[in-house]
Structure 1
């Protein structure tokens, strides 16, 4: 196996800013930003938009995302549904 072709695998912090949630794990993801963790060490941090703390499936709180706009766009494209 060629050693120079494998990505670096090491500790990384994934942070969900919308939920104020972060966790330390190991990954091949990299980042220029760093964060000081609870153990006093500095790790690269990757910001994510959705995590288990903010995903509607896990929280039980559904968020509506512009459903009226989607329906209006569908009706403009395919008509009012006159049944013909």
Structure 2
């Protein structure tokens, strides 16, 4: 591997402002802001808009699409298949 080609890979805190949740991981993300973590050390902090703590898929608050209602509305609007016909 060539030297001095890759960005610095170091511990970084990612903070989800919407959920009030922060987690420490390793990343190449750059930030001028810092935060003191639970272990007493200071780490760069990157604010994110959404994470697994606030994403609807992971929190169970995802909306389900009413496909049956859409099909019924389509059939009402454009005429559905005739079910009275004999085979």
TM-score clears 0.5: yes
1:22 and 2:22 correspond:
yes
SS of residue in 2 equivalent to 1:58: helix
Following the alignment from structure 2 to structure 1, what is the Cα–Cα distance between the partners of residues 24 and 30? Answer: 13
Moved over 4 A (4+): none
1:35 and 2:35 correspond:
yes
Q: Deviations over 1:4-39 (max 9, x none)?
A: 111000000000011000000001111000000000
Structure 2: tracts of 5 or more residues without a match? 64-77, 79-87
Correspondence for 1:49: 49
Q: Considering only CA atoms, is the larger Rg found in Structure 1 or Structure 2?
A: 2
Which of the two has greater helix per residue? 1
Following the alignment from structure 1 to structure 2, what is the Cα–Cα distance between the partners of residues 22 and 45? Answer: 9
Following the alignment from structure 2 to structure 1, what is the Cα–Cα distance between the partners of residues 28 and 3? Answer: 15
Across the aligned residues of Structure 1 and Structure 2, the Cα RMSD in angstroms comes to 1.5
Count of aligned positions: 65
Following the alignment from structure 2 to structure 1, what is the Cα–Cα distance between the partners of residues 7 and 36? Answer: 23
Scaled by the length of structure 2, the TM-score of the pair is 0.69
Structure 1: tracts of 5 or more residues without a match? 64-82
Scaled by the length of structure 1, the TM-score of the pair is 0.71
